[in-house]
Structure 1
């Protein structure tokens, strides 16, 4: 498999999109970090906190969020570039399609099969809307195409 089939995306777009997507996903992870903050306040020493389960869990959530955000950013930027999307309207359509294929099935399962509370489902839907439609709009605004070499 050759890397030439993967569209090139500007590194600044990946950095901006990763920061945006990571911030959006951390909105949903706020309860995890709230319990970590409470544990920091109650621990006697920093070494005690570092060895705690809360610190390991927070680090795992944070690390996986950064890696997942970078992968999602590249994928969305590559889709924007491969489809030739240059307008905000087109980027919002693309983000909406991504939202529909990634979140809608899980939302139906959460509501009808698992009978989760509606506030939980709405929070996940809003977070995913920010993370798909918002990311596509931000990346389209920033620009994902590399500057062509001037010869």
Structure 2
């Protein structure tokens, strides 16, 4: 064994990471669609493609798109690793673990938005729905696809 291996990171099937990233990224883009729609309208009204590409809006949209893609990949790996570590094989177990991840990562912010920031209920509900898809939905999707690498299945 090489001294440079990272043995403490749980193995996850690469296809699960790839498909989970696409699943999670699509859910995030559904929420970000108004941002990209406005950017697209500005691109249509720009005098030239070069002018728009050099604009602040294009740079901001590209950074947002890239960061959500990278974040989706990291989140997918983390959820899959948790599912593997917990030994989850059923949809019920995946929903339970996804619900716990949702409670740990999203509930504090949602409660704060409702009671402290007094955000509109519709906005909080949309945010909660997206976070449920990002956690419970992703857990269920990954359980359906399978997250264990082939060498772990042989043990």
Same fold flag (TM > 0.5) = yes
Matching residue of 2:72: 69
Distance 1:40 1:98 in 2: 38
Structure 1 residue 68 displacement after superposition: 0.4
Matching residue of 2:14: 11
Matching residue of 2:128: 125
Structure 1 residue 142 displacement after superposition: 0.3
Cα distance per residue 1:65-114 (max 9 Å; x no partner): 01100000000000010110000100000000011111111011111111
Distance 1:147 1:87 in 2: 18
Q: Output the TM-score relative to the length of structure 1.
A: 0.95
Q: Which runs of no fewer than 5 residues in structure 1 stay unpaired?
A: none
Q: Which runs of no fewer than 5 residues in structure 2 stay unpaired?
A: none
Query: Conserved in 2, the CA contact under 8 Å of 1:35 and 1:54?
Result: no
Distance 1:9 1:134 in 2: 18
Structure 1 residue 52 displacement after superposition: 1.2
Q: Output the TM-score relative to the length of structure 2.
A: 0.93
SS at match of 2:18: helix
Matching residue of 2:112: 109
Query: Conserved in 2, the CA contact under 8 Å of 1:17 and 1:139?
Result: yes
Deviates more, 1:48-57 or 1:87-96: 48-57
Within-5 A mapping of 1:43-82:
43-82=46-85
Matching residue of 1:140: 143
Distance 2:65 2:144 in 1: 26
Q: Does 1:29 align with 2:25?
A: no
RMSD (Å), alpha carbons: 1.4
Distance 2:41 2:120 in 1: 25
Distance 2:151 2:79 in 1: 21
Matching residue of 2:86: 83
* Consecutive aligned runs of 4 or more in structure 1 exceeding 2 Å deviation: none
